[in-house]
Amino acid sequence: MGTIRADHDDFSIRFASAMDQMIRLKSSDGVYNDWSRDIKGNMYDIVVEGFQLLSRWTGRIWEQCAWKFSRPISDSQQNSMTCFDYEKVVRYNYTAEERRALLELIGYIKSIGLMMQHCDTLVSEALWETIHMEVQDFVQDKLDTMLRTTFRKKKDLSRILSDMRTLSADWMASTSKADPEQHSLHQETEEMRQNTFYPRPVAPTAAQIHCLQFLICELVSGGNLRKVGGLFGNSGSGIPVEDLKQLETFFYKLSFFLHILDYTATIGTLTDLGFLWFREFYLESSRVIQFPIECSLPWMLVGHVIESEDAGLLESILIPFDLYNDSAQHALTSLKQRFLYDEIEAEADLCFDLLAQKLNEIIFTYYKSCAASTLLDSSFTYACDDGDKYFVKPLRFDAIFKLRRVMVLGRTIDLRSIITQRMNKIFRENIDFLLERFENGDLCGVVELQQLLDILELTHQSISRFLELDSYSLMLSEMQENLSLVSYSSRISSQIWSEMQTDFLPNFILCNTTQRFVRSAKGTHHSSHRSSASTGKPYFYCGSHDLTMAYQGLAGLYRDFFGVPHMFAVVKLLGSRSLPAIIRALLDHISSKITGLLPKINALQEALPKSIGLLSFDGGIAEYGLAAISSFGCQKIVHEILTWEAKSEVKTEVLHDLKEIGSALYWMSILDIVLRGLVDLKELS
């Protein structure tokens, strides 16, 4: 492959240089001189070399394909897998390096062919003029010399040469018309003149070329095509070796002129790789209607690009679809079998849908990994011994983003538009997954939700530089069902208030030491029933596995309490639209709790004794002291009189309601601290 790469790069440079010279020649008012003749001759040589390169590279693929088909993998290499014969020669018979080399070579063939195809109108005049000059130089000068010398006394052979000149000589481009009979009468001592002609962009027809080839065969063989030494062997022909070599060279040039003149068809033939798809023999031998998509060689190459994650191959991910185009063209034009085209079309449609899906996943995963890596705390990465794994290798998707016209089976597809549509869908699915995951957790998960939504927003900003995505705020409001003008509650605010009612206020208590709310160790007062969260796709989290684990580890630090970091997340997620609704609901909840406390407190008061006497002072003051007796007496009164044994449930409810009211008031105090801090930050900025 190293030699092929060098040949490809060298030819591309020289072809571009030749095309630049042709453009300069076109702009010079068509002046014909030695400079223009050299430029057009060089262009002709470059085109011939390009055809030779394409032929050699396509032949390499033919040879490898035949070699693989003749040497399928052995049964011992299958690892006890049951597979079709076609899988033995294709799916499991190509190594990763061979797939990469095949994909690279197909890309070289298609790129060179496309480059030459785009210049057909510009180079056609140069090719026709060069061929015209080659033919006229031979028939007007070299044949004239042969008529004067070698064939002067050979009437039959001279007649053939004269017919060749009559058939193909362009006397309109010559300064003087040559008379064959007059030239045959000239003496050998007479000075021989060369005809001066000016090349014109008038190429000979295919019929003229075939007639010239036939006349050369007649001239050389004398009617005996089986002579010893081959057609141009010097055995009994009576033609000098030098003239024979000139005839042989011109004969083979004529064969190549046919391909040069049919420029477009020749490129199509040389770049036709449709044979890599056809597998009807194996369908018949395996007695199946169709093989799975994984067995198809074009999709194998696409899958290799996706699995390898090679930035150099990513821009070649659409090259295998040229195999479908070639095979479909061959099925319709050469084989004339519609059922083959239908099979190719069905497989190409499926492969393109899968490719669009995979491309969106790759692009989304890459930019989300970049966003997660950017937002990851730098102190965390510096503290890790293997912090390099949290950095993302750069990839470029510019070439893919610019693909607005992709030809698949004659249809023009706007790949950029398809990627944009699917990308909007992925963002909406990701937001819905994060909201659903938060709805299946407790209030402490609000920090993780805010982190993941920040990563998603930065991902949206990065991709929006290349694609026309929907607004992130619009998608977030849409998935939160918060688009209505009269809607004051979103999914996040509804979930936060629901969790505060059913879980946070009943089950969390304030820790005076840390000033945080922690879950009570005595069990839940109200059980909160939650459904198990669905497992999302890997790229719905943080892109790569390492970054996901890092963020989950950081989020785990906030899982067991609720404090100031959680309140910052609540304020950022709710915003100025939904936060007042939470405060209003919390105040109503406190009011309802206070209202519900009054009858319960009255019930506890009724259970108290009507009067409580003073503590007795007899027989204990001298021994224990006044303070000790007072303390002991108070405890005794509390345990004996204020037990509310008959109202124990009411007592528990009153204490719990008082705890909820206190938690709600402190929750709002934390909210006030956070809002004041945000105001101060805005003033400083």
The predicted-structure confidence for 154-194, as pLDDT tens digits, reads as follows 767 778 878 888 888 777 655 544 444 444 444 444 444 55
Q: What distance in Å separates the CA atoms of residue 251 and residue 35, rounded to the nearest whole number?
A: 28
DSSP character at residue 408: E
531 in the same domain as 406: yes
Tell me the residue range of the domain where 277 lies.
2-118+272-336
Examine the domain organization and report whether 380 and 407 are in the same domain: yes
Type of residue numbered 423 = M
Single pTM value for the model? 0.80
Q: Do 282 and 263 reside in the same domain of the chain?
A: no
Same domain, 173 and 282: no
- Of the candidates 274, 294, 392, 257, the one whose C-alpha atom is nearest the C-alpha of residue 340 is 274
Q: What is the pLDDT of residue 81?
A: 61
Please indicate, yes or no, whether residues 142 and 261 belong to a single structural domain of this protein: yes
CB 446 within 8 A of CB 566: yes
Q: Answer whether residue 616 is part of any domain.
A: no
Low-confidence residues of the chain, pLDDT below 70? 29-32, 75-82, 150-153, 155, 172-197, 222-238, 284-286, 483-488, 523-534, 609, 612-648, 681-685
Per-residue pLDDT reduced to its tens digit, 126-150: 889 888 888 888 888 888 777 777 6
DSSP state of 500: I
Structure token digits, residue 404: 């607005």
Check whether residue 68 and residue 20 sit in a common domain. yes
Say if residue 25 is in the same domain as residue 65.
yes
CA distance 475 to 483: 10
pLDDT value of residue 628: 53
In whole angstroms, what is the distance from residue 157 CA to residue 222 CA? 9
pLDDT for residue 180: 46
Bridge-based pairing state of the strands 411-413 and 508-511: unpaired
Which ranges of 225-377 does DSSP label H, i.e. alpha helix? 241-261, 263-270, 280-286, 297-308, 311-314, 321-333, 338-375
pLDDT value of position 572: 92
537 dihedral zone (left: phi>0; alpha: psi -120 to 50; beta)? beta
Q: Is the dihedral of CA 467, 470, 472, 478 positive or negative?
A: negative
- Do 206 and 303 share a structural domain? no
* pLDDT score of 456: 95
In a domain, residue 351? The reply is no
Q: What are the tokens at 603?
A: 């019930």
347 domain-assigned: no
Which one of 269, 289, 318 terminates a domain? 269
Q: Let me know if residue 346 belongs to a domain.
A: no
Q: State how many domains the chain has.
A: 4
Domain match, 393 and 410 both: yes
CA distance 146 to 162: 11
CA 480 – CA 491 distance, rounded (Å): 5
Any domain includes 568:
no
> Rounded to whole angstroms, how far apart are CA atoms 440 and 436?
6
Domain assignment present for residue 138? The answer is yes
Determine, yes or no, domain membership for 352.
Answer: no
Is the domain of 164 the same as that of 206? yes
In a domain, 172, yes or no: yes
456, 323: one domain: no
Same domain, 265 and 293: no
Distance between first and last Cα of the chain: 58
Q: How confident is the model at residue 176, as a pLDDT?
A: 47
Q: What pLDDT is attached to residue 566?
A: 94
List the structure tokens of 53: 């390169």
